[in-house]
Every structure is written in C-alpha cells, then in structure tokens.
Structure 1
Amino acid sequence: MERARVGSWWEALRRAVAGPDVAPVRPPLDRWPRLAAYAGPVGLLAVVGLFAVALATETGRHLPGVVPFLFAGLTVAPLLVLPRRPLLAWRLTVLGLATCTFNAPAGAAWPWNPVLALGSLLVLAVVATRVDRPVLVWVGLLTMVPVVALVDPDHRIDVVVPVLMLLVLGDLVRGNRLSRRALAAQTALSERERERRAVLEERTRIARELHDVVAHHMSMIAVQAETAPYRVTEVADGARAEFAAIAGSARAALTDMRRLLGVLRSESTGPETAPQPGLADLPAMVDAARRAGLAVTLDAPAPAGGTPAPVGLAAYRIVQEGLANAARHAAGAAVRVSVRPGPHALAVRVENTAGDDPSTVERCAGHGLTGMRERALALGGTFAAGPADGGGYVVDALLPYDGEGGDG
C-alpha cells in the first residue's frame, strides 16, 4: 500500500515536470462571439504593453546586451501559452523566477520585475484550477524553491502567503467545479431514470388494456368452440374435432398472449425457465395443423447425435411460421415439411402447392419471412423463400451446427 502511494506521488511529479499538459477548456469569451472577435487583438496589445514594461524594468537594472530582451520575453511567454497550455506556462514561470533576478534592487520584497511577479500569481491561480491535487502539491513545492532561495528573508513570508492562498483557493474552485459536474451528471441520470420509469408505466398501461381486450375475446372464442357441439343438435365427429382444435388453438394463443403481456409489464426479463420447443415437438405441431384442416406431410428423421437447442428452436419456429403462412395464403394447398440433418447443418424446407385461390399464394408484406431469415442468419446459416416453379411457395433454410449438445 505504501509503495503504491509513493509510486503515485512520483508519477504526479513526473506529470508536473515533464508530463502531458491538461486538456484545454472552452474559453469564456466563446459565449459572446462579438467580444471574442476582439479578444485576439486586445490580448496582443496587452502582451506588447507588458513586454514593454518588463523590458523597461530589466533595462533599468543595467543588464548587458540582449539579456533584458530575453528576460522580458521570458516574462510574457507564460501569458501567451497560459490559455491552452497551463502546465507549460507554469514551467516557463518557474524558469523565469529562477533566472530573472539579476541586479535586483537590494531589500526589494519581489526580486522580479512587476510583470513577472503578478504574472506568476495569475499562472499559479489558473494551474491550481486545472490540475489534480497531487500534481498541484508538486507545483506548489517546486514554485517555492526559487521563492525561498531568492527572496529576502525579511520579505519571504510576504511572498509565500499569497502563493499558498492562490493554490488553496484554486484547488477549492476546481473541487467545486467537479462537484457541479458530478451533480449535473447525476441530475441527467435521474432524468433518464424518470423517463425510463414513465416508459415502463406506459408499457404497463398498454399491457393492462391488451389483457382486458384481447385476452377476453380469446377466452370467448375458446369457450364458444368448446360449447358449440352442445348447442347444435347434430354435429358430425369431424366438426367436433375441429371445434376442439379451435378451442385448443385459442387457449394456446391466450397463453402466448399472457407471456407477451408479462414481458411488457416487467421492467427486465429474466432467462426463460420453460422448456423451449425443438425438433422433437415437430410431430405434435404437424398433428395440430392437420386437425386445423391443413394437409401436411412431415419428413423429419431424428438426427443421430441430436442437434443443439438453438438450432432445434430455430427449425421449429421456421416450420411453424411456414405452416401458418401456407394456411393463411394458400388455403387447401398440400404442404410438405422436410427437416434433414446433415454432418454439419440442418436443412429445413417447407413447400406448399398452389391453393384453391391462386391469388393468395403471394405473401403479403409482414414480419414472418423477416423473422425466419433473422433466425437463420443469427446461427450463421442461409435462408431463401419464393414462389415454386410449378406454383406454390418454398421456404428453404440451412442451419449450421457443430453437433455438440442436443435437444432431442
């Protein structure tokens, strides 16, 4: 633990001395475009004026040659890069504090020229609001080195106190800004949560209305189909079986509707706990289609090693949708279902002849074919559907599998 803490402080020192600069922030004047247009020229004039003041001060110290110009340039350089590169501005400031004290007046409280002294405070204030606390600690300590070494002992406290105050106030400003950002993020999160709750409440209301309307009518269909043979004096055996099939289909549809309504009402759905249908359930589905009046033949030999559950479920749903489409769009047609397992894939084919009304063979735009295609593609397989050459319609799907696991 202590080693990690020491390592973090050394990393903060590296960031302060030679690390990447902090990300630039949006300039305040961007909120006022008209004023921002004048910021560049006004800033340039201000820098030129400050350079002139610093040069006059350094020249009054009787420095040789171009040294006054170098010191004056080093004085204003941090102000030029401060808006975009605050850490670089601080590094230049420390360099200026350490070098620009030659021939300073004896006993002066600030051994630097006024522009460098006030500019250093501005740079420290900006840096304190932009860097995290470990880096700020090193910034403060490294800034104190030239202060303690070069300032007269009688005036040292007069320099140290303003520097420390700026660092502390800048850190407080940064903490307050971060707190406001966190509060804004939490407020946005709460607003999204309220919107999500409103959506869930609306879904619950829709589910309740669906249950009141659809489930009632489905129940009435089932009850009427069950009681019809007792209300009609003469009912053939085939009609009784058809009424029973209608009642069973209605109750199955009612069960599926209740499951769907449960999904609509729930905030989040857990994993399915009921067994999912597979290849073993195809004969029962085909028998139900026959009882409903559809002429169906099934060719589905059981695979030797079984098929994975996702493949079996996809095949079941594709056959189910194919039979439903044949009954809906090709009344009276003969339907052949073929499910042939291969060494690496399961071939599913649902083919129906032309119905009594040829105009009903063409499929209308809906979600059935799209759902079958999505199931096949989700397993990495292929899907094709279209009119047959001799009339009717053909659905072909190839569902790959690795032969591991099975659903029976």
Structure 2
Amino acid sequence: MRTSRGIPVRERQDGRQGVRATAGWTAGLLLLAALGAFDVAQHYRSAHLTNALPLTLLVLRCAPLLLVWKWPRAATAAACAAACGTGSALLTPVGPNEPWPWPVTSILVQSTALVLLGLRHPGPAPRRRRALAAGWTASQLPGALLVTLLPDRGGPADLLPFAVVSAAAALVGELAGARAEAARDLARERADSTAERARRVRLEERARLARELHDVVAHHLSVVVARADSAPYRVPSAAADQDVREELAAIAEEARSSLNEMRRVLRLLREDAPDPAEAARTPLPGLAQLPALVDGVRDTGADVRLEGPLPDHRRIAPTAQLAAFRIVQEALTNAIRHAPGTPVTVALTHRAGRLDLRVTNGRPQATAAVPAPGAPSPGHGLRGIKERAATCGGTAEAGPTPGGGFQVSATIPSREGADDQ
C-alpha cells in the first residue's frame, strides 16, 4: 500500500472521513441548538427566563446526542431526562396553540436519539427491538408525568403528536439498524469469502508443490528400487554374496515404502481425497510402528536404542502419535546424516496428559563434522519438527548437549487427563 509521510493511504482516508463526519455531526447539533433557543425564546416564557437560559437549555438537551455513537441506550435515557428537566417543567407556552410539554426541538432531539439507538445498537435484532420499545416507552413517561402534575398547561391530547413522531422515529431506527446489521453481515461474509479464497489458493499451491515433489522424488526412488532389484543380476559379485543380496533387497523395500507413503500423502492433498474406507485400509503411522522404524534405521549400521517400554498407544490420540512418529523419524534421519557412527537413543514417556519424546545422539566424529563434497545442503527438518509439534498444540526444541552431541525434544498433548506413570 502506498504511503505518504509514513501514513498508509487507507488510514489517511479513513481519518479524513472520520473528521468530516464529526464536523458534520457537530454542525448539525449546533444548528439544532440554535433553532431550539429561538423556538424557546419566541414561544415560551418562564419566571426564570433570561437571555442565556434558552440557549443553555437547548445545549443541555442536545448534549446527550454526542454520546449516542458510543452509548446509545444511555444517551437515549439522558435525552429524555434532559428534555424534561431542562425545559418542559420550566417553560409555559405563550398561547394555547403552542406545543407542550414537548417543544418541537425537544421532539426532534428525542426522535433523533431513538433513530440513532436503533442504528447503533450492538445487539441482535430482538434485543434492538426491545431496546427501541423501552426507549419509546421511557420517552412518553416524562410527558405523562408533567401533564398530571401541571394540568393547567396542557392535557393528555398534547401527548399525541410526540407519541406518533417518536413511534415513527423508533420504526426508522429499527429499519436503519436492520440495514446496518445486514451491511455488517455482508462485510463479514465478504471477509470470510476473501479468506476462503486465499486459503484455497494456498491449498492449491501446496498441492501443486506436492505434485512437483512427487514427480521429482518418485523418479529417483523408482530408480533406486530398479537398481537395487537388478543389482544381483547385473553385478556377479553381488549375486554371489547372500548378505549383499539381502541388503539390496532391504534398500529396495525401504524405497518402495517411501514411495507408497508419498503417494498416499499426495492423495490426501488433492481435492479428490480418498474416502474414509480407503483411509482405514492405509492407516497413518503411530507409536506401534516406532520399533519397526528403529529397526530399519539400525539395519543401516547405526547404533540406535529405544529406551524403556513404549507408552500405550490406545490412550494417545492418533494425531499426537503421528506427530511423534514423524518427529522421531526426522530426528533419526538428522542423526545418521550429520553424526554417523555415534550412538542414538530414543525415549518416550506419557504422563499428565502429554507425550514427551527425546532423541539424542553422541558427539559426531571429526570426519563427520565436515560435509563431503557434493553433500546436500541443510534442509528444513528442524523447522518442520517445530511446526509439526505446534500443529498439535505442543512444543519442540533442538540443540547441542553438554557432551558435544545433539538432542531433539518435544512435548505433545495426548488429550488424556490421567497420569500414565
């Protein structure tokens, strides 16, 4: 957004509109006060009437309208009280044709207050209607009280004009409030629609990136599978050595598993995601699959130990199990990549409704500290670990240990309140 003197253009426009609205509202109130002062001076008399009294009374009558934008109900009540206490009880009409107990300007002030009450009321439609009905009823009570206490100045028929005008004002306030509420609902719907479109764009972009990732990685994994399967037939020494044949078969099987899992994740990212029955046939990995994961890493020659018994996976939510599995998987990948040959320990505990996990490797060897030529650059594994833990409402940390090793730890809510010692 373009700025001028450090102020955003939209903020400057909103500020100017607010200043213009305030200036217009203030000018209208001043005009109403001036007309009211002229009305009182010409058509009413009082034993206490002075040159300054009419204007003072009308200013006090109009003052509650300054509060109606922020406190509509209180301002309406204050307008009724001000109109009654600052004029109607003190003024006597100069002739029988003059309106009493409500001068014309008092009718305008209270009617305006009712309109603004309906426009500015923050509640839903039923509450707004009850507030308008209460405001209209309250505005009639002072007039009825004055006619009862001062029968020589007017009778019940004098209350009819204000009752009709204020009822019309209340109706206008209800219509204005309903329109304002509809405008707010429309604005919210537009904001929700904009947010939904932005979310769909992000999801489509993620799906596109997932497809690109699948096309790239699937090709290389397919090549790995093909070469591992065909190596015993292409290399005579590999065909003769049973250990080599088993190692190549394990490599091919691991590549096939990775390829199948990537394809399953891609299906979840697409719009035509699999139905629940298909998802049930291919369940997500959890704590029950951790021993197999550790065994697979151990088959590469790494020294990996799983400390203690695993927590009961039946008491842990599947999302927490999946997050824990992926975090351990990524931590083991980092350990065997950056500190090959060092011992790695994996520990999981479940207590007080949380799943704590820790993956620690020893001090890397000197030759492992410097990447080999052509080695891949550092990826986003640690960042992904923290993001995966955060999606479950947990936290993750990674950093060096006092002995020169490295540790990845995470705490994930398991949605269980009972302790599991």
TM-score category, normalised to shorter length: 0.5 to 0.7
Q: Tell me by how many angstroms 1:101 deviates.
A: 4.5
Q: Deviation at 1:386?
A: 5.4
What SS does the corresponding residue of 1:179 show, helix, strand or coil? helix
**Offset at 1:182?**
1.5
Structure 2 counterpart SS, 1:221: helix
Residue of structure 1 equivalent to 2:334: 325
In the alignment, the residues of structure 1 paired with residue 215 and residue 410 of structure 2 have an alpha-carbon distance, to the nearest angstrom, of 41
**Higher Rg of the two aligned structures:** 1
Match of 2:47 in 1: 64
Q: Alpha-carbon deviation of 1:250?
A: 0.9
| Structure 2 residue aligned with 1:289 | 297
Matched with 1:238 is: 243
Equivalent of residue 337 in structure 1, options 344, 348, 353: 344
Within-5 A mapping of 1:89-238? 89-96=79-86, 98-110=88-100, 112-131=102-121, 132-147=128-143, 149=147, 151-152=154-155, 157-235=160-238, 236-238=241-243
1:81 aligned onto 2:89 = no
Report deviation, 1:226.
1.1
**Matched residues in 1 for 2:166 and 2:29: separation?**
27
Secondary structure at 2:62's aligned position in 1?
Answer: helix
Cα distance in 2 between the residues matched to 1:130 and 1:399: 48
- Cα deviation for residue 134 of structure 1 reads 1.0
| Alpha carbons 2:396, 2:408 under 8 Å: kept | no
What is the deviation of 1:147? Answer: 4.8
In 2, are the aligned partners of 1:340 and 1:346 still within 8 Å (CA)?
yes
Distance in 2 (alpha carbons) for counterparts of 1:399 and 1:190: 36
Tell me, in whole angstroms, the C-alpha distance in 2 between the residues paired with 1:268 and 1:250: 24
How far residue 279 of structure 1 moved from its aligned partner, in angstroms, is 8.1
Deviation at 1:142, TM superposition (A): 3.0
User: 1:257 corresponds to which residue?
Assistant: 262
Cα distance per residue 1:296-331 (max 9 Å; x no partner): 33554644xx5354799888666644543344335x
Say if 1:241 and 1:291, in contact at 8 Å, map to a contact too: no
Partner of residue 20, structure 1? none
Q: Which has the higher contact order (CA 8 A, sep 6+)?
A: 1
Using structure 2 for the length normalisation, give the TM-score: 0.66
State the partner residue of 2:3: none
- Quote the offset at 1:139 in angstroms: 2.1
How far off its partner does 1:205 sit?
3.5
Secondary structure, aligned partner of 1:245: helix
Aligned-pair CA distance for 1:354: 1.5
Residue 342 of structure 2 aligns to a residue whose secondary structure is strand
Q: How many angstroms apart in 2 are the aligned matches of 1:340 and 1:154?
A: 88
1:62-88: CA deviation from partner (whole Å, max 9, x where unpaired):
x22358865653333121331323322
Distance 1:307 1:66, change over 3 A: same
Deviates more, 1:155-164 or 1:221-230: 155-164
**Structure 1, residues 254-285: CA drift from partner, whole Å, max 9, x if none?**
13312432343269999996364548844x44
Measure, in 1, the Cα distance between the counterparts of 2:347 and 2:111. 83
> Separation in 1 of the partners of 2:22 and 2:357?
69
Q: Structure 1, residues 311-369: CA drift from partner, whole Å, max 9, x if none? A: 99888666644543344335xx5332345789998775422652656523999644444
Deviations 1:152-211 (A, max 9, x none): 566655444333222222222222222222222223222322333333333333334443
Q: Following TM superposition, by how much is the alpha carbon of 1:387 offset from its aligned partner in structure 2, in angstroms?
A: 8.8
Unpaired runs of 5+ in structure 1? 1-27
The CA deviation string for residues 208-237 of structure 1, in whole angstroms up to 9 with x for no partner, is 444344324322321331122123344233
Give, in whole Å, the separation in 2 of the partners of 1:75 and 1:219: 88
Alpha-carbon deviations, 1:82-133, whole Å to 9, x = none? 1323322233224457524535422435555444344444444434434421
Rounded to whole Å, the distance in 1 between the matches of 2:380 and 2:337 is 14
Identity of aligned residues (%): 29
The two structures have a TM-score, normalised by structure 1, of 0.67
Distance change >3 Å, CA 162–CA 258, structure 1 → 2: same
Q: Tell me, in whole angstroms, the C-alpha distance in 1 between the residues paired with 2:199 and 2:330.
A: 33
Match of 1:49 among 28, 31, 34: 34
CA distance in 1, matches of 2:387, 2:166: 67
Counterparts of residues 21-40 of structure 1 (less than 5 Å): 31=17, 33=19
Any unmatched runs of 5+ in structure 2? 1-13, 69-74, 122-127, 148-152
RMSD value over aligned CA atoms?
Answer: 4.8
Preserved CA contact (<8 Å) 1:90 1:127: no
Q: Quick one: which amino acid aligns to residue 242 of structure 1?
A: E
